[in-house]
Structures are given as C-alpha cells and as structure tokens.
Amino acid sequence: MFDVPAAKCEWVGRWRRNGKRGVNLLGWGIEIRKDVHWTQVTRMEDFQLRLMDLKERIERLKRRKRALILAHNYQRPEVQEIADVVGDSLELAIAAQNTDADIIVFCGVDFMAETAYVLNPDRKVLLPDVGAICPMAQMLNAEMIREARRAHPDAEVVLYVNTSAHAKALADCICTSANAPEIVNAMSSQNIIFGPDKNLSYFVRKRSDKRIITVPEYGICPTHHQISLEDLIAARASHPYAEVVVHPECVPEVQENADFIASTSGMLRYCSKSSASEFVIGTEIGLIYRLKKQNPSKKFYPISENAVCPQMKMHSLPKIEAALEREKPVVRVPEDVAADARRAIERMISHR
Ligand code: SF4
C-alpha cells in the first residue's frame, strides 16, 4: 500500500487508475494503491507541493492583510485546517465579535457571513463563494414574520440563527441549536413565534412549557431532514456498540430514537466526555473530520453518507486565496437592518 494521505486538492480532478477513470476528489483524501502507475504517484506528489504552496500563499496573504479565517464545522477538511477558528454558528459569531482583524473570511453560508458583518460593520467580511446560500434561511422572509406578529400580537419572536439579516432584524432574540430551549425559556412571553426549522421547533417544544408557533410550518434543513429512521436503524445494526448522536435539525423520529441530541459543539463535547469508543453521527458529515481529530482513539460513523450540505462544501482553498487577493466577494447588510439584527444577536450572546 502506498499512501498519499495529505493529497487533497480540488484541481486534481480525474486521474487514471488501472486504465480506468478515477473519481473527482473534490477536496477529500485520496489513497493511492500499489496498482496505480508511478507516473500518477509523481503527479500526486506534484499536487501535494502545489497544495502546500497554496496554503503558504494563503497564510502570507492572511498575515499581510490582517485577516481572520472562520470556518464552520461542516467545511471541507483542508478549509478547517487553514482556518483560525473552527466552530458552530454561535462560536463563529462570538469569534467575529471579538476579533480586531481588518478582514474576516467566512467559510460558511450566507447568513453566517451576514452575522459576522452585523457584529463587525467596520470590517470587511468576505464569502469566498457567494453560492453558499443556506436553503433553510431562504424559507423564512420578513413578511412571514410580520404576518405572524399580526396574528399573535402578544408573542415574542425567537429566530434560529439560520435566517437572513432582514429576518433577524424583526426578531426579539436569536438562538442557535446549542441554546434554543434556554433562549425560549428565558423569554418573558408565554407565546413564542419560532422559525424557520420545524424540527428544531419540535426539539424546543419538548423542552419548554411555552406555546411555540412555528413559522413557516414547513421549514427544514434539507441535509438533516433527509436522515431517516431507517438510516438510524441500519447504522445501529452495523455498529451495535456505538452511541447514536444526532442534531436537533433531524426529524422527530430520528431525535426520539437517538441516544443523545446536540448541536455540533454539543456533539464535540459529548463524544469527548463519553466513555463509549464508537459513535454514529447524525449531522452533516464534515463534523466527523473534527470529531476524529479531537478523539483519535474513538471511531465515528456517519448515520448516512448522504448527509452532505452542498452549500457548505462550496468554499475551497483556491477560492479563499482569490477572495483574500481581490478582497471580494464582500458581504454587507444595510445599516438600519444591521442595527436591528445586531440587537437580537447581542441579546443571544449576552445570554451565555
Ligand atoms: S446544513 Fe442545513 S442549515 Fe446548515 S447550511 Fe446546509 S442547508 Fe443550511
């Protein structure tokens, strides 16, 4: 066996293995077997060198431009490696709030970069690929919130951080999957308009005696929503000694049959502390890279190989380099919207 474990690069594209076409690497690890021709190995070494060059160029640009790279837990391994901070939405929002960097490169989706801008309107926030748009955040617009407020005038509005800045500006408080029940329970009203994820809403309802009005009724994360009870049962059968840990964006029947439900940061804490040595992970598969890195003696299996968020995977090292060089694409939010959204986000952060 001849391994080239660090060879992870998007531009490798396709290569030949035994005369057949290989797979597009798309940033994932590659294993070169002894049946692969030497010229291909040489090529892979060349690619590794180019990858090292790329990382060094990004590091130099980062220092020269006083930039901070933030990466969500679902990012590709090589993006997580180059980042200054890797975390969930709340951790990245706090990192964005505390930085004195001139530029923030946000390797996450649109609403996260907006949140970073809202907390740092004087800094330049870059989103390396503007196609990184969260479908869940798109499911709730400002007019839906106004309508819900008109229908329930005594209710307070708690919105999941996975919303646009325009939606956040109409909220009383923001929450993440790490703190949603605590935030809802801390609100003064007994009636809470909550959105946009109906599965997270289910999770909160089970941990609160408040009346939860979910807006919209159909809001979901496509990546988590497609994880089924059948996936969970099959994973338990394949890994009978593993604990099953799932995200609250999963459907209720998956939540109900898991051993533990947690945000990505909660999963990282839980798996580190648990005495179990194997885990089935019910969230976007990018988290498994960090779980393995933090717990090298433990085993982690995705509950479904299909749990991939295509939008989260859009950022790559070449795109990060290009964003730093050109200082764009820039994310901005109109100041009046940002001021109202900031109030709701800071209320969440001060709740810690
Ligand atoms: S994993 Fe789901 S909620 Fe997160 S960015 Fe992707 S689609 Fe949006």
Judge contact between 2 and 38, C-beta under 8 A. Answer: no
Domain spans in the chain, listed from the N-terminal domain onward: 10-51, 60-132+313-326, 136-220+333-350, 223-308
Token code pair at residue 243: 């604990």
Ligand 1 mean position, distance from CA 346 (Å): 22
Nearest CA to ligand 1 atom 8: 134
Q: Could you tell me the pLDDT band of residue 46, with boundaries at 50, 70 and 90?
A: low
Ligand 1 mean position, distance from CA 307 (Å): 10
Task: Output the pLDDT for position 128.
Answer: 98
Between 3.40.50.10800, 3.50.50.60, 3.40.50.1820, 3.90.100.10, what CATH number should domain 136-220+333-350 receive? 3.40.50.10800
Other Cβ atoms closer than 10 A to 205: 18
Could you tell me the pTM of the whole model? 0.84
Tens digit of each residue's pLDDT (9 = 90 or more) over 277-296: 999 999 999 999 999 999 99
Tens digit of each residue's pLDDT (9 = 90 or more) over 297-347: 999 999 999 999 999 999 999 999 999 999 999 999 999 999 999 999 999
Residue 56 to residue 50: CA distance in whole angstroms: 10
* Nearest ligand 1 atom, CA 132: 5
Place of tokens 């021709």: 37
CA distances from 16 to 23, 32, 99, 233, 327 (A): 9, 11, 45, 37, 37
Helices vs strands, H then E, count in the chain: 16, 14
Does the fold of domain 223-308 match that of domain 136-220+333-350? yes
Nearest CA-CA partner of 271 in 248, 293, 240, 238: 293
Judge contact between 140 and 320, C-beta under 8 A. Answer: no
Tens digit of each residue's pLDDT (9 = 90 or more) over 145-203: 999 999 999 999 999 999 999 999 999 999 999 999 999 999 999 999 999 999 999 99
Ligand 1 mean position, distance from CA 223 (Å): 6
Tens digit of each residue's pLDDT (9 = 90 or more) over 227-261: 999 999 999 999 999 999 999 999 999 999 999 99
* CATH number for the domain whose boundaries are 60-132+313-326: 3.40.50.10800
* CATH number for the domain whose boundaries are 223-308: 3.40.50.10800
**Which residues are CB-neighbours of 92 under 8 A, at least 6 positions away?**
70, 72, 85, 106, 108, 112, 115, 116
